[in-house]
Structure 1
């Protein structure tokens, strides 16, 4: 029996044990990112997704807990642009959710209605910050509620890249990029961000007020969404869910390498999001922090150069036949993101 066959059997057993449903078919789903996904059809006519989470033992972040508990909170409070959480086995690192029929939202050109649906979803999450239940929810992954905390996150990511040594040609290219381009750019951007915030009367150590924070999937965008056949957008992948700075939520939506919005759409998204959050300081934070988040994404796409990052890709089933070509592609992405982040220092590229 192959590993996939074993996991299919475990998925079927989990559905039967946790939901008391008999299984008729199990199929591996591609595109799980950091995790493994299986579609499970039941004899009762229900279709489910069983999700195996990476690193439940070695990763210090509870990805299953963040996603399942976050979706449970949202579903119980009336949010329906998500997949309904059905059951989970925390010990085995397995979550079960309703299967969403449709196609990846990123396959088609983003429309005005898609932008409206995305902003409406952000508005729902912001409204739920008033719930007493929300206080118990965790911080989103790498939620930096001050400029100093954001800067610390960036330098910790840079420190992780320092373990890569120039032992092979491609690793030599990465080290040169890291030392000669990325590091000095980060140093310059940090100083500029501190100066800009000080000029607007904000200390870099000042924490964001609670009423300026929001709830966020922390990996929000059409790359993590399914478009139903009726056009409704369902957002998925909440394993980084929690309290966050809206400036990060907006920036990540715009910066994710899988997102490619036309300028008119990205500008509309920013303008509508600023209205939804109603934060007097958000526009300035967004313009100041956006280049820094661009550098963060520059480092994120280099994760696969790290042993743990590559293990995560192997776990999710990435094609490993040509690791060097894959890593070279990631390095090229990083170089492009670095240029864009540098340009964003001079002019915010998504609206006035």
Structure 2
């Protein structure tokens, strides 16, 4: 396996090497992914960008915790190497299933998606022997939500911040003055983070999910908010999300889940405005490094998305 990793670290074109058939899998900006097969072995080899998140390590730890818990909802971890190559690398079993950019359409598929997250919520710090960090983006309280939003805004010089971002932030502050002091107990659980539709392997039985490089401890109920605000799900109806929230609360037995979701949903919309504003500020300055090249029209796409989030955040805040 080590020899294969050394070879793939050179980023070769698809081919065969020492009996391994390998091909590169596209679609990610922050990692280089290969599928490699030889005999009965079928693995995913993932080189990640090197940053403070320790993405390969995060993913390996999460998959190890899930394997130890006996939960078949993610690939099996095989190997982690953060030091031998220019990029950290992890190897995991290859998962089979349908991958699509489209959100679930049938009620049955929505139930499978919610059940996936409800199962994940059963993994708690008390059950896990391996080290798991805090999730990269998870609002486990209103205070945590403020911290995440402020962290994005602090990375943009004040004079470069869009006026609408400052306006939304002030509106959020005005509506959350009392709420901020409310403390709702949260039972921490393992959170995968990033509910991109392409991260789920849809199968007849339990769905699997991949790409755990932002995972960690957090409020499991916030994972539904992450879905609700993710660009891939922006066309899903409010009625569907109401059902999803109720289904999640019922499956997990979490009596305050819906309350916490409703509290953090407006905050996550404003976070997205701040994140996209930061993206538009940093990329032209060469500050947002990626392993894959950006598409030629990335800026127009980001500006369009930001406008969508501004409109949605404005509408939601108006209703509070």
Residue 158 of structure 1 deviates from its aligned partner by 1.1
User: Deviation digits for residues 250-297 of structure 1, max 9, x if unmatched?
Assistant: 111111001243444323211111223433433222212211101112
The answer to whether residue 317 in structure 2 is matched with residue 334 in structure 1 is no
Residues 174-323 of structure 1 mapped to structure 2, 5 A cutoff: 175=160, 178-195=161-178, 197=179, 203=181, 206=183, 209=185, 212-228=187-203, 230=204, 232-259=206-233, 260-305=235-280, 306-307=282-283, 314-319=290-295, 322=296
* Distance (whole Å) between structure 1 residues aligned to residue 220 and residue 104 of structure 2: 25
Between the aligned partners of 2:212 and 2:285, the Cα distance in structure 1 is 19
1 or 2, which has the higher helix percentage? 1
Give 3-state SS (helix, strand or coil) of 2:74's partner: coil
Q: 1:231 to 1:317 in 2, by over 3 A?
A: farther
Task: Indicate whether 1:27 and 2:20 are aligned.
Answer: no
Q: 1:87 — aligned with what?
A: 79
Shift of 1:246: 3.2
Aligned equivalent of 1:168: none
Shift of 1:302: 4.0
- Structure 1-normalised TM-score? 0.77
1:122 to 117, 125, 139: 117
Contact 1:81–1:233 at 8 Å: present in 2 too? yes
CA separation of 1:334/1:40 partners in 2, compared to 1, >3 Å: closer, same or farther?
A: same
Q: For 1:273, what is the secondary structure of its paired residue?
A: helix
Aligned counterpart, 1:8: 8
Give the Å deviation of 1:72.
0.9
Aligned to 1:153: 148
Structure 2 gap ranges (5+): 1-5
SS of residue paired to 1:295: helix
Output the CA distance in 1 between the equivalents of 2:249 and 2:319: 18
Q: Distance in 2 between matches of 1:308 and 1:65?
A: 29
Contact 1:227 1:233 in 2 (8 A): yes
SS of structure 1 residue aligned to 2:57: helix
Runs of at least 5 residues in structure 1 that lack an aligned partner in the other structure: 1-5, 13-20, 166-174
Distance 1:237 1:150, change over 3 A: same
Distance 1:108 1:272, change over 3 A: closer
> C-alpha separation between the residues in 2 aligned to 1:84 and 1:160?
36
Q: Give the aligned length.
A: 307
Distance 1:134 1:193, change over 3 A: farther
The answer to whether the 8 Å contact 2:61/2:131 transfers is: no
**Alignment correspondent of 1:170:** none
**8 Å CA contact 2:62, 2:132 repeated in 1:** yes
